[in-house]
A and B are shown apart, each in its own frame.
Chain A
Amino acid sequence: MNRPADKSLLRFLTCGSVDDGKSSLIGRLLYETKMIFDDQFAALKDDSRKVGTRGGEVDFALLVDGLAAEREQGITIDVAYRFFATEKRKFIVADTPGHVQYTRNMVTGASTAELAVILIDARKGVLTQTRRHSYLAALLGIRHVVVAVNKMDLVDYSRDIFTKIERDYREFAHRIKLEAITCIPVSAVAGDNVTSRSRHTPWYGGPSLLEHLESVTLRDPAQGAAFRMPVQWVNRPNPEFRGFAGMIASGVVRRGDALRALPSGRTSTVARVITPEGEALEAVAGQCVTLTLADEIDVSRGDVLCTADAAPAVANQFEATIIWMHDEPLLQGRAYLLKIGTKTVTATVAPIKYRVNVNTMEHMAAKKLELNDIGVCGLELNGAIAYESYRDSRVLGGFILIDRLTNNTVGAGLLHFALRRSQNVHWQALDVNKRARAVLSHQKPCILWFTGLSGAGKSTIANLVEKQLHAEGRQTYLLDGDNVRHGLNKDLGFTDQDRVENIRRVAEVARLMVDAGLIVLVSFISPFRSERRMARALVEPGEFIEVFVDTPLEQAEARDAKGLYKKARRGELKNFTGIDSPYEVPEDAEIRLDTTELAPEAAAARVILHLREAGIVDMGYDPVI
């Protein structure tokens, strides 16, 4: 038995489509490294007869095609993780499917891999998908690539064919700056050059695939870099102990080292280093530790501890590459949650600079990113973060995007650099603030957000509410959809991304007006929940009052004061809410006005009543008197 301490770990990913024999190759590696037990092998032989593609012979691919649905369809549709070990190394294999629609899975597998094995069918040579896989591997920071030219048995182990494929590949790899490339002629089905060198390829002098995986030296750049650790959890078992737990992203930390906490910038020195083996003098990248500091400084989850005199920069606007992973497209201007390291912030994408065609590497103009699209975008966060470019640090430069409504992980991204405007524009802390203005005007500023179908009566009701408030001496302003579109937003149309931007601008204007102390009435169709939620998040709790003007589509359409529904039905008006663009009904509106029951005057009275009950305005007399 080898002492485990002698063994290192290599995480790699395999890419190529089922037709390239990827599953067969992994199945073969598992079998040859004795990871397949007798009962599993018996089940495999059984399966091979039933559903195998090798005419009753053992089909190693079946070892790794996991989910029942996939096995029936004969394709791998999700990332699967495989394990095998030799005397020298333990291997974790991310097995990712090669079909065009599964960029998402390959990116997922590549995010934790140090090396990629890319399969090429010897009969087909370098294909579009080979280029796509290589590009994604390079993008995700994998520098070591093994090109396994498979099915050599079907081309009579031809040296010429192998040499041509190798030349083609190297020429391409050079262009995308992939550095370390090893090409190996193999046959996964016949077992040539998989674990040992084959007698069928006497012209090949290199290692077998497994020999290469066992011996390739991978330099971990994190070991030599400056110390960084995102704080994951603050450990406070008793008043005497306050430790900051996290995994060291890069570098070394020693007792007595001067550290800086970011984004605050406060400094202290390391008092204790607690590793999984107990108290130690130092700890290195990859270890999970708990550090205590000599001074009581304010540090919490999401902060980054780093070497005091070599700290990373802090910013809130970036250029980043985003890989979109969801059926609903990414829209410019929409807000998402962004998780980076141990910190979660709100991020807005604006603007999308271009989309990358992963087959040709061309840059294409884009206003949204669809599932499996890759684009380069501006990114604006609601708070500053410590960061490094992804090229320098996967931990401080890699992030995921989370949809705020569904909580799904919808995208992944790589930070490149901070945008200069984020360093130059600072939020001005002003002395005369919202509270001061509110006291002067005897009202609590707020946003009354009227949402509903076109023709529901939003503007009519909002207008009545404003008249009543004005009569009481309140300071108000009504932002109306149609009016704003004539000016501020006249450059916007009615596509989904323009609607998002339309609402973003209106919400920002409304926020400034709340800051000015006004009661702002916003009358916009605002069909999407996530934008209404974004607007809500801009102001303080209690300042956003959503008013759902609830009118059935038939009634709004019957009313059709502006003749818009008729136009939309005739197809003259595209993307019309309720007809060919969705309206997402509010789930948590403060006020719902059912216009089948309430006349506009009664509806307005109900809104005023809510304002009184919520203490936005007082009970109908002037408090000054």
Chain B
Amino acid sequence: MSALDYLQRLEAESIYIFREVVAECEKPVMLYSVGKDSSVMLHLALKAFAPAKPPFPLLQIASGWDFREMLEFRDAIAKKFGLELLVHTNEEGVRAGVKPWSHGAAYSDIMLTQALRQALDKYGFDAAFGGGRRDEEKSRAKERVFSFRSAHHRWDPKNQRPELWSLYNARKNRGESIRVFPLSNWTEMDVWQYIHVQQVPIVPLYLAKPRPVVRRDGRLILVDDDRLPLGPADRVETLSVRFRTLGCYPLTGATMSSADDVPAVIREMLSTKNSEREGRGVDKDGASSLEQKKQEGYF
């Protein structure tokens, strides 16, 4: 057997990180957003602990505006692998009537950031696996694999622990918790190549098919259910679209595509001209905005 190829090396590094957290932390959880990165994370976690099941539950933060197909896929996956699935929604936000189009930037703060903090505090998790990758955004490029959060879930980029070799220091002070990013060194392309090679199951929304959409601020928004307010000028069109990233459906833009299987997606990516975050509403308010959100506790 020869030396490992690049995907095998990335895979090994991620598996090592999973095992290290389980060995050193008391109560880990995996944040499962149902997206492609979460799918790869889960695939790696299943490998890391086989023949045992991953010794931690999955946690999904449901905003109430999740794509229906994602929720179906989430439940099917949890059932297939016999995993404990926790779903948390910020009920205060629901009661306050917070909606994607009514509260602007506060929406993601209330329904995602706050909800995540609530859930972590509620269950007392001391470590949470997330699918963040360093290639996503400039401030992520400097984040550690083991990223510490204060008791108030804040990230202090100035005060990060050095990470050398594969020696991760998981020791926490009282009240602190860790976000762990097993996919830190993966790129979007690596994730797709791995999905292809390993035949990792993903939500069908990533693959093109004719779907009903409306145009909003230059983006194509899926008419996923009848809660999306439609004005008289809105025209529902059926177009062949797919999603590069998945969030809350009223905030996630689809792209026109005919890529209906994974190799076609990869081919499309090789010729694409825009980054994956471009389709998201969250981080458009200036180049430093994701860094600010992270300091406040956004994953």
Segment of A103-111, A520-528, A547-555 engaged in the interface with chain B: A103-111
C-beta contact mask, B267-278 vs A, less than 8 Å → 1, else 0? 100101111001
The listed residue (A79, A92, A237, A409) touching B53 by CB distance below 8 A is A237
127-162 of chain B: CB within 8 A of chain A: 134-135, 138-139, 141-142, 157-158, 160-162
- Inter-chain CA distance A251–B266, complex, in Å, is 35
The listed residue (A66, A223, A283, A301) touching B141 by CB distance below 8 A is A66
- Inter-chain CA distance A164–B99, complex, in Å, is 66
The listed residue (A236, A288, A290, A400) touching B169 by CB distance below 8 A is A400
Q: Are B161 and A408 in contact (CB under 8 A)?
A: yes
Q: Does A68 contact B (CB under 8 A)?
A: yes
Q: Are A90 and B275 in contact (CB under 8 A)?
A: no
Using known A-B contacts A66-B138, A67-B139, A108-B163, determine if residue A232 contacts B169 with beta carbons closer than 8 Å: no
Using known A-B contacts A37-B273, A43-B287, A284-B4, determine if residue A81 contacts B141 with beta carbons closer than 8 Å: yes
Q: Does A83 contact B (CB under 8 A)?
A: yes
Q: How far is the CB of A230 from chain B (nearest CB, A)?
A: 10
The residue among A1, A105, A220, A398 with the most chain B CB atoms within 10 A of its own CB is: A1
Q: Are A80 and B6 in contact (CB under 8 A)?
A: no
Q: Are A406 and B173 in contact (CB under 8 A)?
A: yes
Q: Are A288 and B138 in contact (CB under 8 A)?
A: no
The listed residue (B3, B22, B141) touching A220 by CB distance below 8 A is B3
Q: How far is the CB of A386 from chain B (nearest CB, A)?
A: 16
Using known A-B contacts A66-B142, A80-B141, A282-B1, determine if residue A276 contacts B15 with beta carbons closer than 8 Å: yes
Q: Are B266 and A247 in contact (CB under 8 A)?
A: no
The residues of B that contact A283 with a CB separation of less than 8 Å are 1
Q: How far is the CB of B152 from chain A (nearest CB, A)?
A: 18
Q: Are B11 and A276 in contact (CB under 8 A)?
A: yes
Q: Are B52 and A399 in contact (CB under 8 A)?
A: no
Q: Does A9 contact B (CB under 8 A)?
A: yes
- Inter-chain CA distance A78–B156, complex, in Å, is 13
Q: Does A274 contact B (CB under 8 A)?
A: yes
Q: Are B190 and A90 in contact (CB under 8 A)?
A: yes
The residue among A6, A7, A65, A66 with the most chain B CB atoms within 10 A of its own CB is: A66
161-188 of chain B: CB within 8 A of chain A: 161-167, 169, 171-173, 184-185, 187
The listed residue (A95, A233, A276, A399) touching B12 by CB distance below 8 A is A276
Segment of B42-50, B65-73, B105-113 engaged in the interface with chain A: B42-50
Q: Are A286 and B142 in contact (CB under 8 A)?
A: no
Name the residue on B nearest A277 (C-beta).
B47
Name the residue on B nearest A231 (C-beta).
B23
- Inter-chain CA distance A54–B60, complex, in Å, is 46
- Inter-chain CA distance A220–B9, complex, in Å, is 13
The residues of B that contact A282 with a CB separation of less than 8 Å are 1
- Inter-chain CA distance A11–B23, complex, in Å, is 27
Q: Does B89 contact A (CB under 8 A)?
A: no
- Inter-chain CA distance A21–B66, complex, in Å, is 45
- Inter-chain CA distance A43–B193, complex, in Å, is 28
Q: Does A245 contact B (CB under 8 A)?
A: yes
Interface residue count on the A side (C-beta < 8 Å): 77
Name the residue on B nearest A247 (C-beta).
B16
Q: Does A581 contact B (CB under 8 A)?
A: no
Q: Are B291 and A68 in contact (CB under 8 A)?
A: yes
- Inter-chain CA distance A237–B22, complex, in Å, is 14
The listed residue (A7, A65, A398, A406) touching B164 by CB distance below 8 A is A398
Q: Does B94 contact A (CB under 8 A)?
A: no
Q: Does A407 contact B (CB under 8 A)?
A: yes
Q: Does B236 contact A (CB under 8 A)?
A: no
Q: Are A287 and B135 in contact (CB under 8 A)?
A: no
Q: Are A83 and B197 in contact (CB under 8 A)?
A: no
Q: Are B165 and A112 in contact (CB under 8 A)?
A: yes
The listed residue (B23, B48, B184) touching A81 by CB distance below 8 A is B184
- Inter-chain CA distance A104–B52, complex, in Å, is 39
Q: Does B51 contact A (CB under 8 A)?
A: yes
Q: Are A9 and B9 in contact (CB under 8 A)?
A: yes
- Inter-chain CA distance A104–B190, complex, in Å, is 29
Q: Are B50 and A290 in contact (CB under 8 A)?
A: yes
- Inter-chain CA distance A287–B14, complex, in Å, is 11
Q: Are A402 and B185 in contact (CB under 8 A)?
A: no
Q: How far is the CB of A248 from chain B (nearest CB, A)?
A: 9
- Inter-chain CA distance A184–B161, complex, in Å, is 34
B: interface residue count bin: 35 or more
Q: Does A394 contact B (CB under 8 A)?
A: yes
The residues of A that contact B15 with a CB separation of less than 8 Å are 247, 276, 288
- Inter-chain CA distance A81–B23, complex, in Å, is 26
- Inter-chain CA distance A89–B6, complex, in Å, is 8
The residue among A243, A398, A406, A407 with the most chain B CB atoms within 10 A of its own CB is: A407
Q: Does B7 contact A (CB under 8 A)?
A: yes
Using known A-B contacts A1-B270, A66-B142, determine if residue A6 contacts B5 with beta carbons closer than 8 Å: yes
Using known A-B contacts A37-B278, A67-B139, determine if residue A301 contacts B9 with beta carbons closer than 8 Å: no
The residues of B that contact A232 with a CB separation of less than 8 Å are 16, 19-20, 23
- Inter-chain CA distance A463–B159, complex, in Å, is 46
The residues of A that contact B10 with a CB separation of less than 8 Å are 9
The residues of A that contact B172 with a CB separation of less than 8 Å are 407
Q: Does B288 contact A (CB under 8 A)?
A: yes
Q: Are A85 and B187 in contact (CB under 8 A)?
A: yes
The residues of A that contact B278 with a CB separation of less than 8 Å are 37, 39
Q: Does B263 contact A (CB under 8 A)?
A: yes
The residues of A that contact B184 with a CB separation of less than 8 Å are 81
Q: Does B118 contact A (CB under 8 A)?
A: no
- Inter-chain CA distance A288–B52, complex, in Å, is 15
Q: Are B134 and A81 in contact (CB under 8 A)?
A: yes
Using known A-B contacts A67-B157, A235-B52, determine if residue A412 contacts B162 with beta carbons closer than 8 Å: yes
Q: Are A325 and B139 in contact (CB under 8 A)?
A: no
The residues of A that contact B47 with a CB separation of less than 8 Å are 276
Q: Are A111 and B165 in contact (CB under 8 A)?
A: yes
Q: Are A409 and B162 in contact (CB under 8 A)?
A: yes
- Inter-chain CA distance A552–B22, complex, in Å, is 46
C-beta contact mask, B4-40 vs A, less than 8 Å → 1, else 0? 1111111110011001101100000000000000000
Q: Are A83 and B52 in contact (CB under 8 A)?
A: no
The residues of A that contact B190 with a CB separation of less than 8 Å are 90
Name the residue on B nearest A274 (C-beta).
B50
Q: Are A301 and B52 in contact (CB under 8 A)?
A: no
Q: How far is the CB of B252 from chain A (nearest CB, A)?
A: 16
The listed residue (A65, A81, A105, A247) touching B166 by CB distance below 8 A is A247
The residue among A40, A71, A79, A288 with the most chain B CB atoms within 10 A of its own CB is: A288
Q: Are A407 and B138 in contact (CB under 8 A)?
A: no
The listed residue (A274, A288, A325) touching B162 by CB distance below 8 A is A325
Q: Are A287 and B12 in contact (CB under 8 A)?
A: yes
Q: Does A82 contact B (CB under 8 A)?
A: yes
Q: Are B157 and A78 in contact (CB under 8 A)?
A: yes
The residues of A that contact B142 with a CB separation of less than 8 Å are 66-67, 78-81
189-242 of chain A: CB within 8 A of chain B: 220, 223, 232-233, 235-237, 241
The residue among A4, A40, A284, A395 with the most chain B CB atoms within 10 A of its own CB is: A4
Q: Are B167 and A339 in contact (CB under 8 A)?
A: yes
Q: Does B256 contact A (CB under 8 A)?
A: no
The residues of B that contact A82 with a CB separation of less than 8 Å are 135, 141
Q: Does A8 contact B (CB under 8 A)?
A: yes
**Residue positions of B touching A, CB distance < 8 A:** 1, 3-12, 15-16, 19-20, 22-23, 47-53, 134-135, 138-139, 141-142, 157-158, 160-167, 169, 171-173, 184-185, 187, 189-190, 193, 197, 263, 266-267, 270, 272-275, 278, 287-288, 291-292
Q: With A47-B287, A65-B138, A236-B52 given, can you name 6 additional A-B contacts, CB distance below 8 Å? A: A1-B266, A7-B6, A85-B189, A288-B16, A301-B23, A412-B164
In the assembled complex, 14 residue pairs joining A and B whose CB atoms fall closer than 8 Å, in A order, are A5-B5, A66-B139, A67-B138, A67-B291, A68-B288, A69-B157, A82-B141, A83-B134, A83-B185, A90-B190, A112-B164, A112-B166, A247-B16, A408-B169
The 3 closest A-B pairs by CB, nearest first: A237-B52, A9-B6, A407-B171
